[in-house]
Amino acid sequence: MRVVVSIGGSVLAPDLDARRVEGHAAVVERLADEGCEIGAIVGGGGVARDYIGAARELGANEVQLDQIGIDVTRINARLLIAALGSQVDPKVAHDYEEAGDALRRGDVSVMGGIMPGQTTDAVAAALAEYVDADLLVYATSVDGVYSADPSADDGAEKYERLTAGELVDVIAPMSRDAGASAPVDLLAAKLIERAEMRTVVLDGTDPERIADAVLRGDHGGTDIVPAGNDDEPSYWVGDE
Q: What is the mean pLDDT of each run of 10 residues along the chain (240 residues)?
A: 95 89 96 96 91 95 95 96 94 97 96 94 97 97 90 88 94 64 88 96 96 94 84 52
Other Cβ atoms less than 10 A from the Cβ of 98: the count is 14
pTM (whole model) above 0.95: no
* The pLDDT value given to residue 226: 87
* pLDDT tens, residue by residue, 75-103: 999 999 999 988 899 999 999 999 999 99
The one-letter code for the residue type at 151 is S
* The pLDDT value given to residue 208: 95
